[in-house]
Amino acid sequence: MFREPQVENKESPKFWRVNIILGLLLVILTIATFWQVQGHGFVFDDQAYIVENPRLQHPPTLDDIKWALTTNYAGFWHPIVWLSYMVDVKLQGSSPRGFHLTNLLLHIFNTLLLFSFLSKATKSVWRSAFVAGLFAIHPLHVESVAWVAERKDLLSTLFWMLTLLAYLRYVHLPRVRTYLSVIVFFVLGLMSKPMLVTLPFLLLLLDWWPLQRTAFVRFPQPTSSSEDKKTPVSRLVIEKIPLFILSAVFSVLAYVMQESNNALSGGFTFGIRFGNAIISYAGYIWKMIWPRNLSAFYPHPGHNLPIWQAIAAGVILLLVSVFALRSSKKMPYMGVGWLWYLGTLVPVIGFVQVGMFSMADRFTYVPLIGLFIMIAWGLPDLICRAWLDEASNESENKRSPILIFTACACIIAFALCAWIQVGYWHDNIKLFKRAIAVTSNNALACNNLGLAYERLNQIDDAIIWYSRALEIEPLYPFAHLNLGRALKEVGSIGEAVEHYIAAVQIKPDFAEAHNNLASILASKGKINEAIEEYQKAIAANPNYAEAHYNLALLLSEIGRFNDAVAHYKEALRLNPLDADVLCNLGLLFIQKRDFRSAEKHLHRAISIQPQMAEAHYGLAVILAVHGKHAEALHEIELCRKYGYAPNPELVRIINSKYRKFKPHHEISIAPN
């Protein structure tokens, strides 16, 4: 079989120099491939995760940390991810550049950790470097790195690799302390993304190869020392029971979180989901070999699933499985690599459908490592078995440079493809135009492209793409919502109402559509109907701060002050640093003549947004009521400086009172 170039003893300085040099090359290769991400903006779900998340608009507080540890925002409990975002905000502010550089740094760490684990576990430095190189630059991994919202992929993999390294240490030094380190890293990984639920099964595979701890596998030419290390399979399973329990707990938790956020999409029978899963398994393999037409979103075929594709994919998977497992008697890495790929994809392959996509590039971030192992260890050995006489070392040595050259050429080719793919993630317009170009009937991409144009205030273009999304999928509630908002922007109120109504008919618990419909009803004076729609929005999503705020505004306008205060407080609970809520609540307390509460809220609003003129005006009123006329006049001056015209009668009264009590230090503010 093919032998790697020798680097002498594994503990020799030359061995470590080779590791360091290869590690540096991996870092340089990864940076060169992904460096352009530093100039990218926020895309796709980054808007919800980062831009619209009030917890990430300021340096983190203790309350924000508590929120990160308890929230199921966006349908997941992944506190490590939120804490990492908060660290980004603390160190680098809220600009996209800092978030992208952190993603790149994490990807580099993951690459080096993978190289370190494989090198230590297999003692095959060059093959390990090849696997790490493919992992670092494969185009299918661009999504996980260039998309800030997929930080969970990077962090969970970081702890995945640390768990593997900790387990390797435990194998060589089986102590309670070393085992606890395995559990700690495993839990941290699960707190980043529940993808790690398959890791205990993977550890059993690694006990087979490369660790050779199992007693039921016959390896070629086993040594007596390796035979002494064999451990009964039952003991290996028992050893991992704590990890299996943690996997079960986090699997249930993930399911409950997704279900509570309505992220589990119904409507597909198990047969359709199973067929799509089989096609996806085969599709990822093809995209690994030929990474063409990659998209940020692949629409689910649903009931139009081609049965012949599912059958063909199933036959391919069966044949590869038979080959990999049969060849494992002499080449165990074939079975381990194949089962690594199949097993680690199970949580995201679609047996439980989350979202409306058929597959996603990001799901391959860890699973492809299994296929890379099959290629790095299996392909050279298969070639040597087919072409060479194993005893012919001279012929074998001549083949080694050819294989190394081919490996380097593959990595360079994939790196160039990845660099091109990274460019598509520069902004939403590039991203979704590319998705539309390489997929068919992609309603989500059309909708999101419309949203990108709307954020650039190109409303006409937005309407075109929202309409296109509805042509593809007439029952797409989010496209109805967005088209309604865009039509309202251009003055087509009647059409906007029609689309909002369509959205809530398709999706009765659509909080945003109820909220937007309520705002139009309120503007038309249909107060009771508007209140009812706001209440429906809140019933659908009790944590919808905007609906609480809008309902509070409406209730305060019709004199229902106590109800308004309750909804303002709820909006404030959800977003404690919302200056608008603080200001309006303070002004409402003035109307209720609760001046102490009013002053407290207005001061907090100004501490967050110093140029909030309405808050200064409210303070002026409170100060005037308490006879502090000079301070009141100062607040009036600030109020007018920041563009708000105060009540002329209030200015006249304050001036009058001030002249009466402080005639020698008059400060007169002329009323408008």
pLDDT at 658: 53
Q: Are 534 and 512 in contact (CB under 8 A)?
A: no
Is the distance from CB of 29 to CB of 137 less than 8 angstroms?
A: yes
pLDDT at 268: 81
- Asked whether the predicted pLDDT for residue 455 surpasses 80, the reply is yes
pLDDT of residue 229: 55
Which pLDDT does position 57 carry in this prediction? 87
Q: 373-389 burial by CB neighbour count: b if 16+ within 10 A, else e?
A: bbbbbbebbbbbeeebe
Euclidean distance between the first and final Cα of the chain, in Å?
92
- Long-range contacts (CB closer than 8 Å, 24 or more residues apart) made by 248-255: 248/197, 250/190, 250/194, 250/196, 250/197, 251/194, 251/197, 251/347, 253/77, 253/194, 254/76, 254/77, 254/194, 254/197, 255/352
Residues 6 or more apart whose Cβ sits within 8 Å of residue 553: 564, 584
Q: What mean pLDDT, rounded, does the chain reach?
A: 89
Q: What pLDDT sits at residue 72?
A: 86
pLDDT at 668: 36
Per-residue pLDDT reduced to its tens digit, 562-598: 999 999 999 999 888 899 999 999 999 988 889 999 9
Using the predicted structure, report yes or no on whether residue 384 has a pLDDT greater than 60.
yes
pLDDT surpasses 90 at 374: yes
pLDDT recorded at residue 73: 84
Whole-number Å distance between alpha carbons of 138 and 413: 9
pLDDT, position 287: 97
Q: What is the DSSP string of 603-632?
A: HHHHHH-TT-HHHHHHHHHHHHHTT-HHHH
More confident residue, 668 or 457: 457
- Residues 303 and 272: their CA atoms lie apart, in Å, by 7
pLDDT value of position 322: 96
Q: What pLDDT score does 628 carry?
A: 86
State residue 665's pLDDT score. 37
- pLDDT above 70 coverage of the chain, percent: 89
Which amino acid would we find at residue 453? Y
Q: Which amino acid is at 195?
A: M
Percent of the chain with pLDDT over 90: 71
The better pLDDT of the pair 244, 389 is held by 244
Closest CA to 36 of 424, 339, 314, 566: 424
What SS3 state is found at 298? strand
What pLDDT sits at residue 662? 46
Of 50-54, 381-385, 477-481, the range with the lowest mean pLDDT is: 381-385
More confident residue, 664 or 496: 496
Rounded Cα distance, 558 and 374, in Å: 70
Predicted pLDDT of residue 266: 56
Burial of 161 (0-12, 13-18, 19+ CB in 10 A): buried
Q: Which pLDDT score is estimated for 661?
A: 45
DSSP symbol at 407:
H
| pLDDT tens track for 467-505 | 999 999 999 999 999 999 999 999 999 999 999 999 999
Quote the pLDDT of residue 195: 93
Residue 633 identity (one-letter amino acid): L
pLDDT in tens, 91-134: 999 899 999 999 999 999 999 999 999 999 999 999 999 999 99
* Residues 534-552: tens digit of each pLDDT: 999 999 999 899 999 999 9
The encoded tokens of residue 89 equal 């905000």
Q: Determine phi and psi for 297, rounding to 5 degrees.
A: -150, 130
Mean pLDDT of the region 18-37: 96
pLDDT above 90: residue 187: yes
Given a cut of 50, whether residue 249 has pLDDT beyond it is yes
CB atoms within 10 A of CB 228: 7
Could you give the CA distance from residue 355 to residue 362 in angstroms, rounded to a whole number? 14
Residues 6+ apart with CB under 8 A from 386: none
Q: Hey, what amino acid is at 34? A: F
CA atoms within 13 A on the CB side of 218: 4
Determine the Cα–Cα distance for residues 672 and 670; give it in Å rounded to an integer. Answer: 7
User: With contact defined as beta carbons under 8 Å apart, do 72 and 257 qualify?
Assistant: yes
d(CA 229, CA 174): 12
According to the model, what pLDDT value does residue 103 have? 98
Q: What is the pLDDT of residues 265-293, one digit of tens each?
A: 556 888 999 999 999 999 999 999 999 99
pLDDT band at 390 (very low <50, low <70, confident <90, very high): very low
Q: What is the pLDDT of residue 386?
A: 63
Q: Do the beta carbons of residue 303 and residue 272 sit within 8 Å?
A: yes
671 pLDDT above the threshold of 50: no
